[in-house]
Amino acid sequence: MQVLHLVAISLAAVSYTSPLAAQITRSDPLLVRAVVDGDTIDVATVGRVRLLGIDAPEIGRGFDTAAPFAREARDRLTSIVLRRWVRLESEGAATDSYNRRLAYVVTEDGVFVNALLVREGLARVTTRTPLLRLAELQRAESEAQAYRRGMWGQAPQIPTPSYTGRSKARRSPTSRAKTPSSMRRQARKKKP
C-alpha cells in the first residue's frame, strides 16, 4: 500500500512540472547573426527576434537622435549574444506588428538575457498581454530601480557638442558678417 502511495505521489509530481515549462516552447540552439538595437536581434533560420516583455531605448535612424542609453543597451546586448548560440523561448507563435518573432532569449550557459538587460537598467518592462515570466522581469526592474542602475540612475555620458551657435546679442559688432545691405548703410554714413 505504501509503495502504491509513493508511486501515485511520484506520478503527480512528474505530471505537475512548473506551469512555465508546460506553456513555453524552447528552440534548439540558434546562432545570433546581428544585433539591431537594444531589444532586437537577427537569428539564423528565424530572422528578426524582439525580446519579449522588455523595451530598450530607441537608437534613432536617419535624422532622429538616439534616446539616452540606447547605444549602451545595444552594445551590452551585442557583447552578450552576437555570434553566439542562444535558445529562444516563446509563449505561442507570437509576432509583433513588424513581423518579428517575440521570444525570451537564453544563452547556452543559462543567462536570461531579457532580465539581464532590465536588471542593468538598459531596458524597462513592458507588455500588453500577461506573460509567464513577467514576475521575474518585474523583480529585475525593481532591483535596477533600487540600485539606480542605467536609466534609473544618473544621466548617460553624452559627448559635448563640438559646435554651439552663439546668439546675436552676444556677438561683437566686428564679428558680424558683412551683407550688401549693411555695406550700403555704412557707405551712407561715411558720405558728408
- The backbone torsions φ and ψ at residue 46, rounded to the nearest 5 degrees and listed phi first, read -115, -40
Q: pLDDT at position 123, please?
A: 97
**Can you give the pTM of this predicted structure?**
0.69
Which residues, 6+ apart, have CB-to-CB distance to 147 below 8 Å?
Answer: 153
Three-state SS at 139: helix
Q: What is the CA radius of gyration of the chain?
A: 28
Quickly list DSSP for 14-38: HHS--HHHHH-EEPPPEEEEEEEET
pLDDT for the residue 66: 83
Q: What is the pLDDT of residue 154?
A: 67
* pLDDT tens-digit readout, 159-181: 555 554 454 444 445 545 555 55
CA atoms within 13 A on the CB side of 165: 3
List domains and CATH numbers for the chain: 15-152 (2.40.50.90)
pLDDT in tens, 3-24: 444 444 444 444 344 444 458 8
Q: Are the beta carbons of 70 and 60 closer than 8 angstroms?
A: yes
Which among 46, 44, 25, 19 is positioned nearest to 33, based on CA atoms?
Answer: 44
Question: How far apart, in Å, do the first and last CA atoms of the chain sit?
Answer: 126
Of 31, 78, 45, residue with least CA distance to 59 = 78
Q: In three state form, how does the secondary structure of 120-161 look?
A: CCCCEECCCCCCCCHHHHHHHHHHHHHCCCHHHCCCCCCCCC
What is the per-residue pLDDT for 94?
86
